[in-house]
Structure 1
């Protein structure tokens, strides 16, 4: 059975990410973000959302574990910032229902959601420039980079929250990520 651990960056929905994976039959554990990288034995990781980029513990080091990683909201921003992208304040803050255009129908995480999907997102902060090696996977009217993808390194990020009921195809997104971890 595939194991995908959820790294807790103190977000309000982290427990829902853990539950979404468990409901898919995934073996999953909720990990503190201070867990030493050498102690991680998962087939993949989800970097949760959270309130503070300065409180992400060892998350940047987890990107070197050579396992698939999905960053959600702050988790996506952390991936971008750690690998040479930029993060800035979004023009549209707070949580909202957003329609995301899937840019690449062949993307392993978002492709099956094409041509668009409705999501529950927060844009207080957002990725403003992709890191080298990443491609744009999704965009919206309120955020130019809603999702990013680097299939060669199996690193992915979404600005929205696939774990909440307001997101239309959240379960499918987690299922697509599960397949990358097998």
Structure 2
């Protein structure tokens, strides 16, 4: 079975994503975001766009969204998905990392198994202000109107928070759900 590719967008938590995937027995390989899309397209079963400091340093990561593979974006990864598909990302009201209470409006496949309210760890220095056409709002908070979005038809998902950090309650569920989604499409 092909691995899931974790795209390193220079974020401080990418190693924690990789570790969580390993601990969950999810076969994953970390790749640089300057890997040509044609090398990515046929060599993995899904893509996780990791976080990072700046969308300007995303290199080929936006092109990975269009490969027809399941995609999960985490923080900056969500922003890459949103801007690639015509959404708008702007400066958020709160910078820095901290605890946020998130209300799940629609669980969809990626948030299946979570209660209707979860406590997560997130940065809101930048956030999705306009959701791309074809995407559904899955979750919001009193800080951010788009904490999670999805395009179920294309199997593209994004979360503002970091499921891989210990401060996020049951964050592993996001990665387990994504793993299941990729396997269902094989």
TM normalised by structure 1 equals 0.97
Contact 2:68-2:154 at 8 Å conserved across structures? yes
* Count of residues paired in the alignment: 181
Contact 1:102-1:111 at 8 Å conserved across structures? no
* Aligned position for 2:21: 21
Contact 2:92-2:126 at 8 Å conserved across structures? yes
* Aligned-partner SS, 1:110: coil
How does 1:1-182 map onto structure 2 within 5 Å? 1=1, 3-40=3-40, 41-105=43-107, 107-182=108-183
TM normalised by structure 2 equals 0.95
Q: Which whole-Å CA distance do the structure 1 matches of 2:69 and 2:141 have between them?
A: 28
Q: Mind listing any 5+ residue stretches in structure 1 that lack a counterpart?
A: none
Moved segments of 4+, more than 6 Å? none
Alpha-carbon distance, 1:111 to partner: 3.0
* Aligned-partner SS, 2:73: strand
Q: CA deviation digits over 1:61-91, x for unaligned, max 9?
A: 1111111000000000010011100001101
